Structure 1
Amino acid sequence: MVNEEGYDILVISEAYPKGNDYSNNYIHSRNIFYKQLNLNILVLSFNAVSEYSIDDIKVIPLSIYRKKYAKKRWKIVISHAPNIRNHVRFINEYKKNFEEIVFVIHGHEVLPLNKYYPKSYDFIKKQWSKDIQQNMYDLLKLRVLKMFFLKLIKEDKCHFFFVSEWMKKEFEDNVNISLEEVTSNYRIIPNNIHETFENEQYQTKNNKIADFVSIRPFDNSKYAVDIIVEIAKNNPEYTFHLYGKGDYFKYNNIPTNLTVKYEYIDQKEIPRILNQYHYAILPTRLDSQGVFMCELASFGIPLITSDIDICREMLSGFENVKFIDNKESKNIKIKKILTDIINSDNRNTKFFQQNTVYKEIEYFRRFLGE
């Protein structure tokens, strides 16, 4: 374990994995690689209430930071999905101790949510006043973030990582900053996939228990469980298994060829589950990258996902991926799509370590004197 004086990099996040809580696991996934490559990191989680360690990475709450690290100088501070409630306030308070600040832009933090996020399912009751409050908050957050970022850019200590070209464009449109005009300190670097999906590969010869598998939160319309249901209903010759949790099927019928499994699957177990199926189907209505679909595509299982801009940007080069029109879910015939999917052992490494997290580390090293 690195001693406290040895930390060079502070990673700040609203929440962080602990026990069975896998909040922001994509942040922890890259931190593990940082650690393996000898970057000395400490994590500040605003949701943490006490200090703990996970996979030999130390995580502290704000109270511990104030007590033990308030005067420490940091070579790099990495802010994931910066919000105005905690991140902006914290950075403004301590930025004199931060040599370089890297903002990793993931999505919701720079989007007006009601404009981008799909309409909720009808069974989820939503007060109209909540929409008004959300609109007002989003207007405030985007104005504050613009002033905040421009000030840091002027101080020449501000850097950005975007998980996709789509995310960079939406950032510029919504925060109203043209990066090319004010800074060159940005990179497009997708989230890396979890090492489980890089180290293991889809097995075509395993005994299969059904045709299609989906792993999805049921109640968030962004994850399009209703589209999976429609496709199953209109393709009765195929069998579908859906893993996840939620109340969707308390209000909606389950087609006879769809089996719902109310289970949470540990990430390390997912490859074993996937190997029991011929195909995966993961429609989506909105993503800034779609890390899980990238993991499944990289793992090698034949995958069907949605024909939206971000899915095309991320997965166009994958032979094992086909795209469907969300609006045509009632008319989609799976058999026709499957004839075009290539089941190949040639894995696409776009989201492997060397093409993602290693690029981040390469960027960091110039500030670490290495």
Structure 2
Amino acid sequence: MSCNSCLCSLPRNEDSDSLKVADHERAGNQSWNRQDEELERTFVGQTRAISEIKGRVLRLARSDLTVLISGESGTGKEVVAWAIHKFSRRAHQPFVKVNCAGLPSTLFESELFGFEKGAFTGAFKKKPGKFQLAHLGTILLDELTEIPLSMQGKLLQVLQDKEFSPLGSNGNTRVDTRILATTNANIDEMVAERRFRLDLYYRLSAVHLHVPPLRERRGDIDLLCNHFLRKYAALYNRAYTPLSDRIRDDFYKYTWPGNVRELENLIRCMTALGDEEIFYENIKNNGHSIGKKVSTLQELRKKAVSKVESEAIAAVLTCTDWNRKKAAALLGTSYKTLLGKIKEYGIKQD
């Protein structure tokens, strides 16, 4: 074989580089698709709002930005936080959750930042705080607004300088910890009332995700129900049984004040006991109802106009001794229209 033929059989450098780029892009797409599929299993839902949150979760997972996640209780804020950690470079490091609402105000500093031996009566040995336990990983401050105002300055220091001083220590401890936070409170109102530091709020809300309540994402109810039915059928070793049409329709009418958590707990009980009627017992015991409709502004405006109009017509009819033609003239409307309004509003002569 000639030298020329050997050279012709070898790929050119740019072709080799193109192949490498293509392989890299293909591997990246496959990785992204796997993450997307895994996220679908982690955070169930396909409505527009939830799809947007999922997209942001995957993008945020590739950064170390602090994220504030807001929403009503039971909407899935902790699931969002876990997903951000799970798909990040810190996924194999600790994920430490701090239930701020469950901590007495006197224990916040020692729980979050730890303490040295002899720092206070009963401190017989050194104890690391939650931030140290979350080193290289992620810390979730659940219900952040429950942190006392006196501790918020120290938290701000961690966000700014990545270091803090444990209780009883003369030196600072450095940590590499990503901070995620959740709240179900109106944090803007708390800032205005000076119950939450404005500088800390700005630090935490660089990225803000809001998880909508279940009543605003009813299109996800079927997916969530099927997910929980299969989950608890497997847990309790029962056959998967879909919801009856009756219970499914009523699920769509119900307002779900406890959101996804309430739905999951209900399906867990229904699956364990094999009884759909538990749903009706629960809402009756909790003082709720099915299909309680919340009026829109347009509907409220229409009701207000109807009330004023009815009262005005009744007053003019009384003044004219129920002379309908005279009343129509005074009201600036036709006789036929007035008769229709009297019938519509059920106005009767005393």
Q: Which structure has greater strand proportion?
A: 1
TM-score (ref. length: structure 2): 0.29
Kindly name which structure, 1 or 2, has the bigger radius of gyration based on alpha carbons: 2
Which structure is higher in RCO with an 8 Å CA cutoff and minimum separation 6? 2
TM-score (ref. length: structure 1): 0.28
